[in-house]
Structure 1
Amino acid sequence: MRSGATQAPDPGGIPIRTILLGVAGVMLVALGGTGAGAILKRDPLLTDTSLSWIRYGHGHDLATAVLYLGLGMVIWAWVRLGRMVRNRHVGSQAVLTAVVAWTLPLLFAPPLFSKDIYSYLAQGQIALNGLDPYRVGPAVLQSPLSDNVSWVWQNTPAPYGPLFLMLAMGVVGVTNASVIGGVVLMRLVLALGLGMLVWALPGLARHLGGRPAVALWLAAANPLMLVHLIGGAHNDLLMVGLLAAGCLFVLDRKHVLGIALVTLAFAVKATAVVALPFLVLVWARRLDGTRAARLGKAIAGGLVTFTVVFASTTLVSGLDLGWIPALSSSSTIVNWLSLPSAVGDFAHTVVSAFVRVEPGWFMTIARGLGSLLLVYIAWRQWRVAEDGGPEAVRRAAITMLAVALLSPATLPWYFSWALVLGAGLAWTTKSLQKVTFFSVFLLLVTFPNGDTALYSWGYLVLTVAVSALACVTLVKPDPLKLSSRYT
């Protein structure tokens, strides 16, 4: 990846067949999701109707097959579009058309690959009922919203910032605590993040030396983003939209506005704070004086902006800082996407073959070492980026990737954080292939109902094969030689 490269204008043209292939795919995903997704325990639209069979037995199997057929078509369409973008046959307009066309059916689909949206709505209802969502979990409600929250999070306080809790309260209030209405409206609110993202990516590419069409293809049209962040309705989408817009404003010399937007991203989800020290370096580079003086002025300006925006958001919400300690609740998730958790789990498995020991110590030590390593990596990246400029954003993307890999708990869509910040860089073909492989892999390692597939080894082998095929297809049409006509 390089920065500062000269950009050539993007070509025009809309690949209708490829876009329609993706549309058909997401429609099948949405259709299959009515039976195989993260469905309601009691759905007022299907329960006690002639269509309820789709959620049981052979009906559920059929729905699952339809959903995975749709996923395959979405992946195929995305890779075909990427090949056209890479070869400069189409440009940003084609990718934007695809993003809009592929997003619309997902806005009205059942929750897919995650039940987190039910937690969001329940937390909003807790706050509306006058309780503190930072101290109690959804189980206190005993309502249709809390009934659909995963058992893992029933007694877990909200780990999200005051801005997001205000939005959740608004959604629940407007929909009168309707589960289906809440899901749709929350998706529409989160889609604002996608709008900010597609607005910001071309500008980030301009600063970072990449191509706008490639950036949009990587971070906006990517099935990992659309299926998990739109279909799964994760608040990460709003966070990364604000983050991307904030980074662009800072690069465009609108430093206070940019840091204010990233602060709002932090008020949605805490991870966004990682970018702020790097944006301060960009600001410092444009100031007068010695390096120490410039850095001091930028840090002071950044702290004032952060404090005013965050304090105002917190005061308006009527909430407190209880969400900060609640962040540790995610440590209940154990999977090997988190490298420290993987090491701790593996070490316990090996030692348990010889002696009986409790797993907690292994996990605590491994995660503690992972946190230390993360702090070191973040510090090193910040020091390397001390001259500011676009390089600071690249270093922020690397740090975000380290956060996803080394956090105590990691979920597939966490890798969208680094992808958004790095999408505007100048990517080599090999790098694009790697992103394609891991995007498809991360898309598929969660089952449609939200359960993890990371311990279903036979399924993972198939997932790796599909990801590898997508990787090769990005540069070589029809690698399996199934057709005599390449597209």
Structure 2
Amino acid sequence: MTKNEPLSQGQTTQAHGQTQQPRRGMSTRVRGSMRALVSDARAAFAVPAVWLGLFGSVLIVVGSFTPASLPPDSELPYFIGLGLLQTGVGRAVAAAAVLLGMASLLLAWVAMRPGRHGVRGGVPRATWWLWSLPMLVAPPLFSRDAYSYAAQGLLVSRGMDPYSTGPISVPGPFADQVDPMWLFTSAPYGPLALRTQQLVVELSFDNAYFAAVAMRVPAFMSMALIASLLPRMTERVGVSVEPARWIGIANPLILIHLVGGAHNDAMAVALIVAAMLLAFDGRFWISSLTIAAAAGYKQTALLAMVALAGYLARRAVVARRIHEISGGTPSCEERTAIEADRHEPTGPVRGAPHDPGAPGMVEYIRVAAAVGTASIGLFALITFVCGLGWGWVESLSVPLMARSILSPSTVVGSVGQIIMLGLGSSAETAQIPLDTARACGMAIMAIGLIWTTLWLAPRRPTLSVVTAFVIFVACGSVVHAWYMIPVFVLLGLVPFSERTYTVAMWVIAVLGVYAAFDSALGNGSITIAVTLVAALVLRMRARGVLPLPANLRARLAGQHRHAHIEQNQKVG
């Protein structure tokens, strides 16, 4: 091009007469992202089940504006026209709304299950954020932990040690909205969680309620990161994206607890997925740093080190085999065939055929030791930089104050404790069955995690991290529904059978209903609420307007529908 020739459209000049295509500006990328969001929303709204789930989410939000979820003496319901929900009858109506909303949300999600009767084209990408948007303006849902987060953030902001004192040290609106059980307890959370809580509080202009609700901002951003990275991870491990999007992103249990409850687990799980993706791509240091950051929010994130070790060890095997062939210069076909061995085999672990990508035990232990040393060392560095110390170690027993009915060992021990008390034993003697059951649970957990680390991880890295979190939940002394979220987020990365997904679906449904009933109990009106919901459902069924999507009715119709079709074919 001569200097007198005009520039072609879309070109810009540089020094020495060179030309290049202009870079896309930030505004262009933002507009493109907004158009993509609008397009995804339109596609989602074309699916009836999405509307049903959105209806359920709105019902849950409306039903949450009661004293059970709000700070004491809150005037907010009267300001937004929901003052009726503060009365006895109103609280019963609110509890019924939460129950019906949870049922609608679960039914909508079940209707979109991938499979023969699933939604064509899979679960719409926008489903998770469309169902989450109403929750952003609700009080903390199904847990008051967000109020504790706000108080702990204020402690840090005022220069106090959250690991040696509790919310009672900041009397006033921040402490008033904390559950009385946790008023005098120190924080058991990692240093990054507390620094994040401090930042949210300082950006909330010292408004206690707004600070608690604003804890959803990092949680919602974490859900967006999960929604972005999980499909990429399915490509790496070679599984379909639809089961992962259904059970790991659009899952109602994940949304109500991560977004609705604003739990720290959101940031931890998002960083776990990011660390696994980086480790699969061979990024040792950055993946170790990412898992260390995840532990800075929730210390149990370190369980995911088993997946990092497995991925990196398998990659080392592939790299060595590539180097051994043709002096390190294999053909494209040979390289492709060897790199395919990085994928985990499918089928049962025991009795599986030879796995050429599996590392030897010595090589795996070497890589696992390196991952563990790097991750824990970087976690120590993060702790030092945050400047809050290691006080959380002594606070790990704080959650044990709650008697968790979702913990098998605690339930068994509690039954033994009740029997001992009924037989006239002293309180100290009756405590023995509970302590023994919990100790047995911890011993089983230790054995299971050792087996997962040394035997399962080098063979099935992705399955190993799911197994590690299942063992942690099943054997833990304290279990909350949101402790299961890492399992459900990562479950879709493993090619499980339909039966496994069915079991997981029922577990999610039971935990969702449990959360709704627990909320109704908080309003002291569970009987009236259940009666109202039952009456409403029966009336809607009688009128033929029960809000079930067509594909769910087809799923429930099942064999009768197929038999009718076969009969028509025979007649034809």
Q: Identify the range of structure 1 (69-78 vs 420-429) with the bigger mean alpha-carbon deviation.
A: 420-429
In structure 2, runs of 5+ residues without a counterpart are: 1-41, 321-358, 538-547, 565-572
CA shift in 2, pair 1:457/1:59, >3 Å: closer
CA contact (8 A) 1:206 1:424 kept: no
Q: 1:382 aligns with which of 424, 444, 453?
A: 453
Instruction: For 1:323, give the aligned amino acid.
Output: W
| Stretch moving more, 355-364 or 71-80 | 355-364
Q: Show the 5 A alignment for 1:56-455.
A: 56-82=87-113, 84=114, 87=117, 89-91=119-121, 94-287=123-316, 291=360, 294-295=363-364, 297-299=366-368, 301-358=370-427, 359-388=430-459, 391-447=460-516
User: What is the CA-CA distance between 1:87 and the residue it aligns to?
Assistant: 4.5
Provide the aligned length of Structure 1 versus Structure 2.
Answer: 460
Q: Is the 8 A contact 1:247 1:258 kept in 2?
A: yes
Percent identity for Structure 1 against Structure 2: 26
Shift, 1:246, TM fit: 1.0
Change (3 A) 1:432 1:48: closer
Residue 173 of structure 1 deviates from its aligned partner by: 0.5
> Which residue is equivalent to 1:17?
48
Flag the 1:409–1:113 CA change in 2: closer, same or farther, 3 A: same
Measure how far apart 1:169 and its partner are.
0.3
Q: CA deviation at 1:480?
A: 10
Q: Given that residues 162 and 186 in structure 2 are in contact (C-alpha distance below 8 angstroms), is that contact kept between their aligned partners in structure 1?
A: yes
String of CA shifts for 1:229-248, please: whole Å, max 9, x gaps: 21111111111111111112
Q: Which runs of 4+ in 1 moved over 6 A?
A: 456-459
Which residue identity does 1:327 align to in structure 2? Answer: L
- Provide, for residues 382-420 of structure 1, a one-character-per-residue CA deviation record: whole Å limited to 9, x for no partner: 2222535xx122112112111011111111111112222
Tell me: CA distance 1:400–1:458, structure 2 relative to 1, closer, same or farther (3 Å). farther
SS at match of 2:375: helix
**Secondary structure of 2:556's partner?**
coil
CA offsets per residue over residues 31-72 of structure 1, 9 Å max, x none? 111126511113242368864331221111111122222212
Where structure 1 has 5 or more consecutive residues not aligned to the other structure, the ranges are 1-11
Whole-angstrom CA distance in 2 between matches of 1:429 and 1:109:
35
Checking the alignment, whether the CA contact within 8 Å between 1:266 and 1:272 is kept in structure 2 is yes
Q: Which amino acid aligns with 1:144?
A: P
With over 3 angstroms needed to count, the CA separation of the structure-2 counterparts of 1:434 and 1:229, relative to structure 1, is same
Question: Match for 1:229: what amino acid?
Answer: L
C-alpha deviation, 1:322, in angstroms: 0.5
Q: Which amino acid aligns with 1:179?
A: A
Structure 2 counterpart of 1:3: none
2:385 alignment partner AA: V
8 Å contact from structure 2 (residues 59, 101) kept in 1 = yes
1:95 touches 1:213 (CA, 8 Å); kept in 2? Answer: no
Q: 1:406 to 1:324 in 2, by over 3 A?
A: same
CA distance in structure 1 between the partners assigned to 2:526 and 2:504 by the alignment: 22
Give the secondary-structure state (helix, strand or coil) at the position aligned to 2:312: helix
Q: Which amino acid aligns with 2:270?
A: G
Say if 2:247 and 2:491, in contact at 8 Å, map to a contact too.
Answer: no
Output one character per residue of 1:309-355: Cα deviation in whole Å (capped at 9) or x when no partner. Answer: 32332233220010122111111121231111011011222333433
CA displacement 1:417-448 (0-9 Å, x = unmatched): 22222221123222221111110111121357
Of structures 1 and 2, the larger Rg is shown by 2
Q: How many angstroms apart in 1 are the aligned matches of 2:372 and 2:469?
A: 21
Q: Distance in 2 between the 1:191 and 1:88 partners?
A: 27
**Cα offsets for 1:353-386 (capped at 9, x unmatched):** 4332423222111111110110001111222225
Cα pair distance change 1:90/1:246, threshold 3 Å: farther
2:99 and 2:516 in contact (8 A); partners too: no
Q: Provide Cα deviations, 1:156-182, integer angstroms capped at 9, x if missing partner.
A: 110110111110000001112212321
Query: SS of the residue aligned with 2:303?
Result: helix
Name which of structure 1's ranges 102-111 and 245-254 shifts more when overlaid on structure 2.
245-254
Q: Which 10-residue stretch deviates more, 281-290 or 14-23?
A: 281-290
Measure the CA separation in 2 of the matches of 1:402 and 1:386: 14
Question: Do the aligned partners of residues 296 and 49 (structure 1) sit closer, same or farther apart at CA in structure 2, a change above 3 Å counting?
Answer: closer
What is the CA–CA distance in structure 2 between the aligned matches of 1:146 and 1:479, rounded to whole Å?
52
CA distance in 1, matches of 2:139, 2:162: 25
Amino acid of the structure 1 residue aligned with 2:555: P
Matched with 1:30 is: 61
Give SS of 1:46's match.
helix
Matched residues in 1 for 2:93 and 2:527: separation? Answer: 20
Contact 1:433 1:474 in 2 (8 A): no
User: How far off its partner does 1:76 sit?
Assistant: 1.4
Structure 1 position 451, deviation (Å):
8.4
Answer whether contact 1:85 1:214 (CA < 8 A) is retained: no
Partner amino acid for 1:57? G
